[in-house]
Amino acid sequence: METQTEATKLPKLSFFKMFGYGTGDFAQNLIYNTVSTYLLFFYTNVFGLPPADAATMFLVVRVIDAINDPIVGTLIDKHTNRFGKYRGFLLYMAVPFAVMAILCFYTPGFGQMGKLIYAYVTYVGLSLIYTTVNIPYGSLNAAMTRDNDEIVKMSSVRMFLANLGGMCVSYGIPIFVKLFSGGSYSGPSARMGWFFTLSMYGIVGALVLVFCFSQTKERITLPADKQANVHVKDLFHQLVINRPLRVLAIFFIITFGLMSVVNSVSSYYVSYNMNRPDLLPLFNLLPGLPAFILVPLTPWMNKTFGKKRLVMGSLILAAVCLTAMYFVPATNVTALFALRIVGQMGITEATTFMWALVPETITYGEWKTGKRENGIVNAIVGFFFKFGMALGGVVPGYVLAAFAFNANHATQSAHSMQGILLVQTLIPVAFLILAIIDFAFYNLTDDQVKKMNDEIEAKGVTEQSAEGI
């Protein structure tokens, strides 16, 4: 059962409730992690788009997100439905989210321009709907409890399940595509394999989102008078007054850009540089396995090392391993796998912990303004991390075009493979260096967050429900 401490009066969540919340990220990763990891490869090697056209489309969609995300975040914070402010969206939007993802991986029988228009329509549609799932989901943890220790634990469970979803994508997608297409992973013969695979993943993802809805409950709510005063301009106000949020938002774009670039180019690196497409499932799977040990240890490591040293050390470890990968021959499979696994451990730990920092920035904004704007803050974070994920298509797409990559060639020139190698190794290292510099400016400590929560509770700014605890 969930309990509530007498000292803090903050809801304590049972493990099952934390698990129920975390399944929402598992579901989203089944769908959107597939997009960030494989959509560029699908567009260039299956759908038939030139890399530069696909990269431009990724940029255009992010411009649309820049307009859409603040509007969605504001509407969510201003309105409450019969299921609460956030969790109802997991129920309402589960099926549309899955349908649009499936359509993104369908290849219609159009000409080149018709296919490009179709790709724009379906990818823009998916991104718009994803916003209505991701912002409410990201806002939900700060509405379930104020307790920072509980949020770190909940974020750890969430990221454990998110990594499980990511593993199902990285290992499972190539296998199922080949299974449904009769052995093809690339080229026109693989088209129906991609469609059937995404149909399966989309259906499972939608069902798990409905389960997440059924297992969550909002307990920290904004009074009606405060809710009515939420406006789109609050997004810009939060960015002005909320330094931790600015730092974290930039950190999100850098780290998600890093992960998306590494993930999206792995199919090219294994297929062409290593010339071992048969190893792609393992190349994607093995680096994710340490997460199932690291993520549960995150609350302990936070208490032992502190957030700053934990994140910084993890990023440095990843940078060292990716730099070493640049110098290791692509034929040295053992060394490449070892470096990729250890490097991914650093990336996993840093990105796992950053989700626990989002509620801290929400608390800081509430302490400064009197408004607990979960949706607004998550709209900011959501836009930045989606922009970072888009870099997984933008950066490799333009680099591949610049290095004369041609998807119609079974083998690539040394020049093209050099471009793939740069995107797999040194370009991500540049992202890691930027992330280290940015996070050095994050200045909230656990003691400060606890003090702010105590002051907010003393003022009675937000309403807290213990019903059902």
Question: Which sequence spans correspond to the domains of the chain?
Answer: 15-460
Least confident residue range of 70-74, 190-194, 204-208, 240-244: 70-74
Biggest CA–CA distance in the chain, Å, is: 67
d(C-alpha 21, C-alpha 13), whole Å: 11
What pLDDT is recorded for position 7?
A: 38
> In 328-463, where does DSSP find H-type helix?
333-369, 374-402, 414-424, 426-439, 446-459
In whole angstroms, what is the distance from residue 191 CA to residue 47 CA?
Answer: 7
pLDDT at 222: 57
- Please state which of the ranges 6-15, 36-45, 378-387 shows the lowest mean pLDDT: 6-15
pLDDT, the chain, mean: 84
Q: Once rounded to an integer, what is the mean pLDDT over residues 383-393?
A: 76
Bigger pLDDT: 191 vs 152: 191
β-pair partners for 221: 463
Least confident residue range of 98-107, 140-149, 151-160, 420-429:
140-149
Instruction: Output the CA–CA distances (angstroms, integers) from residue 63 to 56, 116, 228, 356, 392, in the order listed.
Output: 11, 18, 28, 27, 16
Average pLDDT over residues 183-211: 93
Q: Which of 44-58, 66-80, 140-154 has the largest mean confidence?
A: 44-58
Q: Which residues contact 441 (CB under 8 A, 6 or more apart)?
A: 243, 247
380, amino acid identity: I
What mean pLDDT do residues 87-95 have? 93
Length of the chain: 469
Angle, vertex CA 461, rays to CA 460 and CA 465, nearest 5:
70
Please give the share of the chain, as a percent, with pLDDT higher than 90: 35
Contacts of 333 (CB under 8 A, 6+ apart): 274, 276, 279
pLDDT at 205 over 50: yes
At residue 117, what is the residue type?
A: I
* Structural contact between residues 21 and 138, judged by C-beta atoms closer than 8 angstroms: no
pLDDT on residue 10 = 52
Say how far apart CA 209 and CA 465 lie, in whole Å.
Answer: 24
Beta bridge pairs of residue 84: 81
The confidence score (pLDDT) of residue 265 equals: 87
164, pLDDT greater than 80: yes
Say which CATH architecture domain 15-460 belongs to: Up-down Bundle (1.20)
More confident residue, 392 or 224: 392
Q: What is the pLDDT of residue 27?
A: 94
Q: Are 439 and 351 in contact (CB under 8 A)?
A: no
Q: How far is CA 358 from CA 17, 111, 279, 451, in A?
A: 19, 44, 36, 17
Q: For residue 318, what pLDDT band results from cuts at 50, 70 and 90?
A: very high
What are the residues whose beta carbons fall under 8 Å from the beta carbon of 311, sequence distance 6 or more?
Answer: 349, 350, 353, 354, 439
Backbone dihedral angles phi then psi of residue 464, each to the nearest 5 degrees? -125, 130
Instruction: Give the pLDDT of residue 229.
Output: 53
Element (H, E) at 66: helix 51-78
CA separation, residue 241 to residues 238, 245, 246, 406 (Å): 5, 9, 9, 48
Give the range with max mean pLDDT: 116-130, 162-176, 253-267: 116-130
Q: How many CA atoms lie within 13 A of 281 on its CB side?
A: 11
Measured CA to CA, the distance from residue 67 to residue 309 in angstroms comes to: 36
Closest CA to 238 of 136, 137, 384: 384
Q: Nearest-CA neighbor of 324 among 312, 305, 338, 311? A: 338
Query: What does the pLDDT read at residue 194?
Result: 95
CA distance 237 to 242: 8
Tokens of 375: 């949706």
CA distance 267 to 43: 13
Q: Which residues contact 330 (CB under 8 A, 6 or more apart)?
A: 269, 273, 274, 275, 336, 417, 421
pLDDT tens readout for residues 435-454:
999 999 998 888 888 888 88
At residue 224 the predicted structure's pLDDT band, cuts being 50, 70 and 90, is: low
Q: Taking 60 as the threshold, does the pLDDT of residue 465 lie above it? A: no
Is the predicted pLDDT of residue 287 greater than 50, yes or no? yes
Q: Is the pLDDT of residue 151 over 90?
A: no
Q: Inform me whether the pLDDT recorded for 5 exceeds 80.
A: no
Per residue in 343-373, pLDDT tens?
Answer: 988 888 888 777 778 888 888 888 888 777 7
Mean pLDDT, to the nearest integer, of 372-398?
A: 77
Which of 393-407, 414-428, 455-469 reaches the highest mean pLDDT? 414-428
Question: Cβ(222)–Cβ(366) under 8 Å?
Answer: no
Q: Which range, 158-167, 236-245, 326-335, 340-349, is most confident?
A: 326-335
